[in-house]
């Protein structure tokens, strides 16, 4: 257990940061799910809009340090590939 004031403060900060990061990660997952649903439905227009929003949200998570840079880029790349596949089909 934390025994000095600095350690206690660090615990409080970590709790707040964890809550914020959890919310951000959840938000990213929501946008990814909306894109997946649009692709599954085969709706190109909705999928295109969802892709833009999902990409924006992923890159925002990267900038906030919630997701690693390479992970964000990989996910965006795979989403773009899915969108392209949908457009050609």
pTM of the model: 0.86
Domain count, the chain: 1
Query: In the prediction, which pLDDT does 6 show?
Result: 94
Query: In the prediction, which pLDDT does 1 show?
Result: 77
Which position has the token pair 């909306």?
A: 34
Residue range(s) defining the domain that contains residue 68 = 5-88
The tens place of each residue's pLDDT in the chain, 89 residues long, gives: 788 999 999 999 999 999 999 999 999 999 999 999 999 999 999 999 999 999 999 999 999 999 999 999 999 999 999 999 998 87
CB 54 within 8 A of CB 31: yes
CB 41 within 8 A of CB 70: no
How far apart, in whole angstroms, are the C-alpha atoms of residue 58 and residue 69?
A: 9
């Amino acid at each position: 257990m934390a025994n000095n004031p600095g350690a206690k403060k660090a615990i409080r900060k970590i709790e707040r940061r964890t809550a914020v990061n959890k919310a951000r990660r959840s938000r990213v997952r929501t946008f990814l799910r909306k894109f997946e649903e649009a692709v599954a439905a085969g709706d190109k227009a909705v999928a295109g809009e969802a892709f833009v929003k999902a990409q924006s949200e992923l890159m925002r998570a990267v900038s906030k340090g919630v997701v690693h840079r390479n992970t964000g880029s990989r996910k965006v790349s795979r989403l773009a590939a899915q969108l392209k596949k949908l457009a050609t089909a």
